[in-house]
Amino acid sequence: MAYALVELTIEFRLWYFYHDCPADMYYSSNRLLHPQIFILDLNILKNESRLAEALRPFFSTLQINTATDSYRRLIHDLSEDGLRISQWAFNQGFHSIVLPLISQIEACVVEHSSDGWFYSDDYVMIPATESSINLMLNKVRVEAETEDCCICLEELKVGSDAALMPCAHIFHADCIQKWLYTSHYCPICRFEMPTY
């Protein structure tokens, strides 16, 4: 087969449902994440365990459990569809260095609240103290291309000001301050800021 690489674009939409258990009310929001592009060797696409390892960091940053049957089915479908499209293109006489493959993924997350602050079975939504936010967030200038701010999903532009958490994750200053007034956890690694 002539294809050496596959350009896998993952378009990801998350729906969040927050259930206030005492009031039995649901609140919802959704986030459309910027498409993530992965350049993969066709041999990785043929091997589901290698494909799973290649994509695991991306899904882990979204706090999606990669040790589930759902994740394994997703990997199986990506592999199977990619190889089918690749074979079809080859049979049609298309020869290219890179084969484009787009995957649109939709997921629903339901979080239950028993007292208005409960975030999930593992995390309690307690704000960080204002003094810890002022003392522990460091103002920095973005000096190299980095990932997007994972709170607003907008680009952290080179030369712009940002805020650095003690755990070394960078966000727009306004985004992380608003976040920490709601939750004392880093939205990426769950580093805990002081709460009292």
Q: What is the per-residue pLDDT across 71-84, written as a single tens digit (0 to 9) for each? A: 899 899 999 988 88
Q: Give the domains, in start order, of the chain with CATH numbers.
A: 5-113 (no CATH), 130-180 (3.30.40.10)
Q: Which residues of 95-122 are buried (b: 16+ CB within 10 A; e: fewer)?
A: eeeebebebebeeeeeeebeeeebbeee
Q: What is the per-residue pLDDT across 1-48, written as a single tens digit (0 to 9) for each? A: 455 678 888 887 766 666 666 666 665 555 666 678 888 888 888 899
The identity of residue 38, as a single letter, is: F
pTM score > 0.75 for this model? no
